[in-house]
Amino acid sequence: MNKSLKYLAILALVPLFTAGLTTDYQTADAAKSQGKNAPGRMSVQSYGSANAGIVCGDVLCKDYPGGKAGYDADQGKSNAPPSTRAETTVTEKPKATQESQTTMSSTDDSGSVLRLARANVPATIPMHQGYYNGESVYFIITDSSDPTHADIISKSQKWKVELAPMLKNTPKEALSKTYMFTNGISGDGVHGFQGEVFTSTPSQPEKYSALTSHVHVTWRDGKQPTLLDSEQKILDASKRGEVSLTEVPVVLNMPHIVWPGGQMKVKQDKTLTDETPYGDAQVLDIDTKKKSVTFIAHRGWGPDGRTIYYIVTDATPSGPAEMMGVVSSPTSAKLIANSAAVDLYQFMNGIQGSGPMGFQAGIAAGAPGDENYSPMWRIFMIGWKDPSSAQLLETIPDITAYQDAGLIDVGLARPMDSDHIVNCPFIDPFQ
């Protein structure tokens, strides 16, 4: 499928997203007409069209006495003519991406276009080999609710596992179960012994979840360890008194890459550019011999405007999962009102760019290192009321200011009239 058809395929889902868009907030203009300001919102005045859509501190410049020139004067800055953020170049990035830049360009036929440098980059991640009902499963480990497991696995696989404290709040019905061995046969397991044993795979969608609870399996003294490659064999060994089973209060994000009867979709056109469409697959290569998988890492913004990269492994409902070429995981819908999922804002119109809907990249409410970071994302859609005047938004305060000014609508995405959760682990693709 060529780029145009892929783009049309993405746009075809826009009505599904917008059907659930809610705008139950009051604009400041409406409050002003009643002779008062809406709680927590700014009153709207006009200081000329040159200030439209430009932010001055915590308000839009059109709301600041004297406009941007007045704001600059109060801040001790020059009174040079204001320029929109869409005309700026952003150069401050984390150490891994300091050479990256954000630029804006304009075209006569399509308006503003956001061109992110390194918008899509390859990220090679180590895979582990485990088992399901006696057959092999290859999976990755990206996040841990517990710092000890995050450190142990990071050192073992020589690839960083992010600490995601919010995962500890995952409800039991949104978790699958995984058995980990603490002794016995040496192997590829997290603790250096035989590989993990899973109780479901994406072929059992009613049970599968990339988020897993854990049971430690320990061989008792004097017992001869053997390979236990299914849950039934583990339970039988426990009944015979050969192993002890201990539940561990740790949640790991362990997305399956290859499983009995299936695997994640591999992208046919493996050429990545800054203009590569979001696409119908997220994986570039799977190598079970070298135990590695290469994902497309997408660039976006953290809550304070820092550069982040993320991969996509699974989603619910099935429509967006199929659109992105990832595993469908219905059990993730159980997170829609749970703190284990964090808000991620995507754009459905405005500035064209590398986001999943073909517009500017998204903004997350949490990022690695934050207390509220989680790889599980509750998607909100942002729509410009006047797309022709869209500006580049990079932070959560940007979203709040423009929403309070009545310039954008923000609503919970409900494609297929269903709860929408996406597993998007934030990673460092350059490690």
pLDDT in tens, the chain (431 residues): 444 344 334 334 444 444 444 333 223 333 333 333 332 332 222 233 344 445 566 566 656 666 666 666 666 643 333 333 333 333 333 333 333 455 554 443 345 787 788 999 999 999 999 999 999 999 999 999 999 999 999 999 999 999 999 999 999 999 999 999 999 999 989 999 999 999 999 999 999 999 999 999 999 999 999 999 999 999 999 999 999 999 999 999 999 999 999 999 999 999 999 888 887 899 999 999 999 999 999 999 999 999 999 999 999 999 999 999 999 999 999 999 999 999 999 999 999 999 999 999 999 999 999 999 999 999 999 999 999 999 999 999 999 999 999 999 999 999 999 999 999 999 999 99
pLDDT computed for residue 279 by the predictor: 78
pLDDT computed for residue 29 by the predictor: 31
Distance, C-alpha 369 to centroid of its chain: 15
- Residues 6 or more apart in contact with residue 283 via CB below 8 angstroms: 257, 264, 265, 266, 267, 293, 294, 295, 296, 325
Helices (H), 274-317: none
Secondary-structure breakdown of the chain: helix, strand, coil percentages, each rounded to the nearest 5: 20, 30, 50
Distance, C-alpha 47 to centroid of its chain: 38
Q: Which residue has the tokens 């020059």?
A: 78
Distance CA 227, CA 244 (A): 15
pLDDT computed for residue 89 by the predictor: 33
Distance CA 344, CA 356 (A): 12
Beta strands 211-219 and 262-263 are: unpaired
Maximal C-alpha separation, the chain = 83
Beta strands 143-144 and 162-163 are: parallel
- pLDDT tens per residue across span 112-129: 787 788 999 999 999 999
Neighbour tally for 237: CB within 10 Å: 20
pLDDT computed for residue 56 by the predictor: 62
Neighbouring-strand partners of residue 287: 292
pLDDT computed for residue 275 by the predictor: 87
**Under a CB-based contact definition with an 8 Å cutoff, are residues 270 and 283 in contact?**
no
**Under a CB-based contact definition with an 8 Å cutoff, are residues 293 and 125 in contact?**
yes
pLDDT computed for residue 113 by the predictor: 83
Distance CA 357, CA 414 (A): 14
pLDDT computed for residue 345 by the predictor: 98
**Under a CB-based contact definition with an 8 Å cutoff, are residues 119 and 299 in contact?**
yes
pLDDT computed for residue 63 by the predictor: 62
